[in-house]
Amino acid sequence: MEKITKISNSPEETFNIAFEIASKLNHPCLIGLTGEIGAGKTCFAKGFAEGLGVKELITSPTFLGVSESYSGKMPFIHIDFYKKVVPKNLLDKFLGDKAVVLIEWIENFEAIFNEKLNTDINVLIQYLKDKEGLIIDNMREIIVEM
Ligand SMILES: Nc1ncnc2c1ncn2[C@@H]1O[C@H](COP(=O)(O)OP(=O)(O)OP(=O)(O)O)[C@@H](O)[C@H]1O
Ligand SMILES: [Mg+2]
């Protein structure tokens, strides 16, 4: 896997980084997003969806768990494992449907089922801190492995 590190200075930049990756995608794949609360995972998911040509509004699926969009160049399944983790068989159904599946809090799946998912793209979004250890407003480090 190739590892790319980018600095984002705004939600728009995070959106655009995701948009660019998705717009070059031409096959179904599994994307795992990791990062603390509020890091920007859903922001990244929105950019990713738009890069696939998805027309539906992408919102945080935290309480629904899964949202499906079919208006882009490939089906887009947006999953959030923060509160609820879907079982492997449902996940396998989505993966078998030739969809682009993006999962926020993917590490929760691995912690609960003690099984690693076979991701094609891993994204880690981290807050950046100044010399005093304080979080720098609007700044994030985005590490993409693909
Ligand atoms: N550089 C940045 N990239 C992304 N979001 C940013 C950035 N700077 C500030 N923000 C703000 O941080 C918040 C990120 O929210 P978002 O819902 O995308 O995070 P999340 O990682 O999905 O959180 P959760 O773990 O609750 O699902 C938004 O309010 C956004 O405006
Ligand atoms: Mg989120």
CATH code: domain of residue 113: 3.40.50.300
Interval 39-76: pLDDT, tens? 999 999 999 999 999 999 888 876 668 999 999 999 99
Residue 35: CB within 6 Å of ligand 1?
A: yes
Find the DSSP H helices in the chain. 11-23, 41-51, 88-96, 106-113
Domain residue limits at 74: 3-145
Q: How far is the CA of 136 from the centre of ligand 2 (A)?
A: 20
Number of domains the chain contains: 1
pLDDT at 73: 96
The terminus-to-terminus CA distance of the chain in angstroms comes to 5
Nearest-atom number in ligand 1 for the CA of 10 is 1
What residue owns the CA closest to ligand 1's atom 26? 37
